[in-house]
Amino acid sequence: MTMRSIEIYDTTLRDGTQGEGVSLSLQDKLNIAQRLAEMGIDFIEGGYPLSNEKDTAFFEQVRKLDMGSSRVCAFGMTRRRSMKAEDDPGMKALVAAQTPAVTMVGKTWDYHATEVLGVSLDENLDMIGESVAFLKRHADVLYDAEHFFDGWKANPKYAAQTLQAAVDAGAGWVVLCDTNGGSLPEEIAEIVGQVKQQLADTNVTIGIHCHNDSELAVANTLAAVDAGANQVQGTINGIGERCGNVDLISAMANLALKKKGYQVLGGQPLTHLTELSRYVYETANLQWRSGQPFVGQSAFAHKGGMHVHAVNKSASTYEHIDPATVGNERRILVSELSGRSNIIALTTKHDLQDDKELMNKILAEVVRLENQGYQFESAGASFDLLVKRLAGTFTSHFQTIKYRIVAGDRDAQNKVAFAEAIVKLQVGDVLWFDAAEGHGPVNALDAALRKALQDTYPELSEMRLLDYKVRVVDSGAGTAAHIRVNIESGDKHDTWGTIGVSENIIEASWKALVDAFEYKLHKSKTSTPQQPAEF
């Protein structure tokens, strides 16, 4: 079968940053651009050079990087009304960005031209044509047709004219944007098909740019490709305004691995997708979405016991793709329900297969702890430590002699709260007694632990606490209930989860903290970077 190559156009650095809570520094943007280029992404939209100095600086600096075969694009709008293209500050900024390609957005929807821009329908066509023609002297031009599908539904003839204006002026791509994200797959298929007919005699590439407001961005993108689009625009992890852009991760994985007849990224394997997804989350300081299709931590996680037994027997019949094809991993979640087959799957790396007695001890301990409120599914590091303890291969790096926190208000009238912690630890033959303040008691305990351990274990400086979760396990008991604390920690290689349960939230937090530190210290002893449990 001949494979159609679908171009991948990333706008994480521009449309992605419109997302609520998304903010990237100049260096973040350069780092992500570099990573996208290493993946072989065809087009990388770097920003909107007129809008801010950071984006202007980005285009200056990205020129110094080796971007391989990726083409960096600057983004801008059509010239303003009643102004020549060559005099327009936005046009000038696009040219000054010196990118091999520029992406220019224009109005498709008659209402937006007349009511938002306040220009006649003819002047809007002139603005599109003249802007494209001007930019074409400096770079390849991609034309983004804003509100394309809504505009087409309102006035198809005029929408077609806007595309024609761009094509006649030399645009090499017309990108059909579902700006409000409200279109349905059947509408996308129908309209892209009509545009394909309109442009049948040209060499213009049709692109598709979807938003996820109806939770249909991926389906809409695939429908457009089936109908003739050869370029897909989106963002890594689907970050973006409102409900986000289409997630390029899902779009690429579906095109290359699930649909028939398409290839992306020159047919390379997609084994770096998971790493790319997490890199972008980490750089943007956003939480991973554990249920994210293809690359989420839970995407190939198996919970129910019967299920797990069968997964071990024939994974492919319980997984829609092999997780390794996207660089992800199968995880077997430990839970009371899952029984022995889960535990066996989880402990393979500990080499305990033949020790039935030990396996039974582990299972009994998991059940005992789960009855207290433990849940190991998000606490793979605590589980690994538990196995080591029961197997006799655990050596503690420090012993707690004492810990204590004091918290309250320094000044109740002015609401100045405080938290202080002291810890007394034995590390080898040395006793360490240290104190620290913190934003709250757990933060103070973390700080005091680091102070007491940093001389002996300098590698702790690269460990960070990423997330802290609290859950009341048997909430009927009010403030006397059991409290479960989960801590997620990370360094530059891995992330790992630990857990503590107690009626006392301070004690629960302390247990989870101690496990987090012990796991890091155990991990650093192994010569090769170790994956934090095979969960």
Angle at the Cα of 132 (from 92 to 109), degrees rounded to 5? 110
Interface segment toward a second copy; rule CB under 8 A; list 268-276, 349-357, 384-392, 471-479: 471-479
Residue count, binding to a second copy (CB under 8 A): 122
Nearer to a second copy, 202 or 470 (CB): 470
Under 8 Å between Cβ of 312 and 345: yes
* Distance between CA atoms of residues 332 and 218, nearest Å: 28
Binding to a second copy (CB under 8 A) within 240-279 occurs at 241-244, 247, 250, 253-254, 258-259
Nearer to a second copy, 219 or 390 (CB): 219
Considering only CA atoms, which of 380, 242, 238, 211 is closest in space to residue 298?
380
Residue type, 62: V
We find the least distance from the C-beta atom of residue 19 to a second copy, in angstroms, to be: 7
Binding to a second copy (CB under 8 A) within 386-405 occurs at 399-405
Interface segment toward a second copy; rule CB under 8 A; list 60-68, 96-104, 272-280, 411-419: 411-419
Q: Report if residue 474 touches a second copy, rule: CB under 8 A.
A: yes
Nearer to a second copy, 35 or 71 (CB): 35
Burial 242-266 (b: 16+ CB within 10 A, else e): eebbbbbbbbbbbbbbeeeebebbe
Q: Report if residue 286 touches a second copy, rule: CB under 8 A.
A: yes
Nearer to a second copy, 207 or 373 (CB): 373
Binding to a second copy (CB under 8 A) within 161-220 occurs at 180-182, 184-185, 212-216, 218-219
* Distance between CA atoms of residues 363 and 365, nearest Å: 5
Q: What Å distances lie between residue 439 and 87, 196, 347, 436, 461, CA to CA?
A: 53, 59, 38, 10, 19
**Cβ neighbours of residue 282 closer than 8 Å, sequence gap 6 or more:** none
**DSSP three-state, residue 247:** strand
Chain length of the chain:
535
Q: Report if residue 56 touches a second copy, rule: CB under 8 A.
A: no
Q: Report if residue 76 touches a second copy, rule: CB under 8 A.
A: no
Binding to a second copy (CB under 8 A) within 353-372 occurs at none
We find the least distance from the C-beta atom of residue 528 to a second copy, in angstroms, to be: 26
Among 446, 496, 517, 522, binds a second copy (CB under 8 A): 446
Over the window 210 to 239, marking each residue x when it contacts a second copy by CB under 8 A and - when it does not, the resulting string is --xxxxx-xx--xx--------------x-
Among 506, 515, 519, 523, binds a second copy (CB under 8 A): 506
We find the least distance from the C-beta atom of residue 286 to a second copy, in angstroms, to be: 7
Q: Report if residue 147 touches a second copy, rule: CB under 8 A.
A: yes
Q: What Å distances lie between residue 401 and 50, 422, 485, CA to CA?
A: 60, 11, 22
Interface segment toward a second copy; rule CB under 8 A; list 137-145, 357-365, 381-389, 462-470: 462-470
Among 86, 409, 455, 462, binds a second copy (CB under 8 A): 409
Q: How many CB atoms lie within 10 A of CB 428?
A: 9
Where helices occur in 74-143 by DSSP H, the ranges are 89-96, 110-111, 121-136
Among 65, 310, 358, 435, binds a second copy (CB under 8 A): 310
Q: How many CB atoms lie within 10 A of CB 473?
A: 16
